[in-house]
Amino acid sequence: MRRLLILLVALAGCAGCSWFSDDKGVFVDRSDDYIDAEENPPLVIPEDLQTGRQTDPLPIPPIAESIRPQYFSDSLPRPNAIYADDNRDEVRIQRLGSRHWLAVPESPTTVWPKMKQFVADNGVDAAYENAGVGRLDTEWLTVGNEQYRDVIRQLLRDAKEAAGLTGGQDRFRVRVEQGLRENTSEVHVRHENDSFAETGADDLVDLNQTPSHLPEAELDFLNELGAYIAARVSEQTVSMIAQDIGSPVKSFIDRDTRGEPVLRLLLDYERSWATVGQALARADIPIAESDQASGIYRISVPADLNIEEEEPGFFGRMFSFGGEDLVELQLSISDAGDGTFLVKVLDAEGQTLADRDFSQELLVIIREYGT
């Protein structure tokens, strides 16, 4: 009887414990609820109600495409390293021939409202605005010979006076785009004067389709906007609708049809060539020879890129105490045929490099140092 009584007490205790810790007792254990979680259907708004204000307050960020495992049967690929240089956090104007744009180390979600605030703070209205493609046109402005208190009208006055242009109304056309890397942006600007024979269409998206009538006004606008953003006048401003800006990040690591790592650039050839050359120079990678017509850079890099230092400027130190063990390589820039260009690592003879991990790491370095 004593043994039976002890057994009954033990069973009652076990039942009591489960009653306190299962999904039906007083204290519900929800640690494994995620296993059975299901995505709810999207919210359906009746057709007779306005849907413009319905936005996701906590959007899920896009997930980068996973590297296809069939190309790495022997070992898993190493994760991409993150490199940085001393000037990465600077707002700066980039130049390529007659082209200028503003490079900003912030995502379009913050650059878009700052650009709009800059225009508004100067007393200029927006005549056209499309956050989905990052486009804004100012109103047409009439500028005379007097001095102005806002910088937009004043820089227009100075540029027109320097160019000897006295008539017509002026406007600026702005586009905010994704930059070469995540959390970076580019701002492109065009100036137009309606006294010229041709002006761009009102819904123009690609500003490369039209040049500025006064390049000096375009450059001055970029300078003033860059100073405004760098001064952090509206630092906490974030735009949810700017998440819809349609242009993708302009560079990312990809795989070709054979599984070889490539750096895909969503740029034209002239800028792709300049971007790779600039990245090599900023990373202190010496260029032995270059041929823009064939899209080839001949370079020398250390045989081992795995340096555990996090301080900027590590490439200079690598060459200083590892210079005798260098590998000669080629970087090939080719047209992918879909509006993008591919950067691929080749050996000294122009053949595909066998070490895919090494190729990928070098391409990541080029991507991180390119602007």
Write down the domain spans for the chain: 106-244, 250-369
- The residue ranking higher by pLDDT, 157 or 357, is 157
Contacts of 228 (CB under 8 A, 6+ apart): 114, 118, 121
One-letter-per-residue 3-state SS of 262-305: EEEECCCHHHHHHHHHHHHHHCCCCEEEEECCCCEEEEEEECCC
Encoding tokens for residue 250?
């302009």
**What is the rounded distance in angstroms from the CA atom of residue 83 to the CA atom of residue 329?**
20
Secondary structure class of 365 (helix, strand, coil): helix
Band (pLDDT 50/70/90 cuts) for residue 271 is: very high
Contact criterion met (CB below 8 Å) for 118 and 225: yes
Sign (positive/negative) of CA torsion 224, 230, 235, 239? Answer: positive
For the beta carbon of residue 150, count every other beta carbon within 10 angstroms.
14
- The residue ranking higher by pLDDT, 84 or 260, is 260
| 250-369 CATH fold | TATA-Binding Protein (3.30.310)
Whether 158 has a pLDDT exceeding 90, the answer reads yes
Beta strands in the chain (DSSP E): 92-96, 99-104, 126-130, 135-138, 170-178, 185-193, 251-255, 261-265, 287-291, 296-302, 326-335, 341-347
Phi first, then psi: give them for residue 367, nearest 5 degrees: -65, -45
Closest CA to 170 of 178, 148, 187: 148
Contact criterion met (CB below 8 Å) for 126 and 137: yes
**What is the rounded distance in angstroms from the CA atom of residue 164 to the CA atom of residue 175?**
27
**What is the rounded distance in angstroms from the CA atom of residue 222 to the CA atom of residue 103?**
10
End-to-end CA distance of the chain: 84
Encoding tokens for residue 161?
């006076």
**pLDDT on residue 25:** 59
For the stretch 29-48, pLDDT in tens is 776 676 677 777 877 878 77
Whether 14 has a pLDDT exceeding 70, the answer reads no
**pLDDT on residue 307:** 41
What is the mean predicted confidence (pLDDT) over 325-346?
A: 92
**pLDDT on residue 215:** 94
**What is the rounded distance in angstroms from the CA atom of residue 265 to the CA atom of residue 152?**
33
Phi and psi based region of residue 295 (left: phi greater than 0; alpha: psi -120 to 50; beta: remaining): left
Instruction: Report the CATH architecture of 106-244.
Output: 2-Layer Sandwich (3.30)
- The residue ranking higher by pLDDT, 145 or 307, is 145
Q: Which of 59-73, 166-180, 202-216, 287-301 has the lowest mean pLDDT?
A: 59-73
Contact criterion met (CB below 8 Å) for 366 and 341: no
**pLDDT on residue 61:** 55
Query: Which of 339-368 are b and which e, b meaning 16 or more Cβ less than 10 Å from the residue's Cβ?
Result: ebbbbbbbeeeeeebeebebbbbbbbbbbb
Phi and psi based region of residue 235 (left: phi greater than 0; alpha: psi -120 to 50; beta: remaining): alpha
What is the mean predicted confidence (pLDDT) over 257-280?
A: 92
**What is the rounded distance in angstroms from the CA atom of residue 272 to the CA atom of residue 251?**
10
Give me the residues paired with residue 102 across strands: 93, 187
Highest average pLDDT, of 39-48, 213-222, 303-312, comes from 213-222
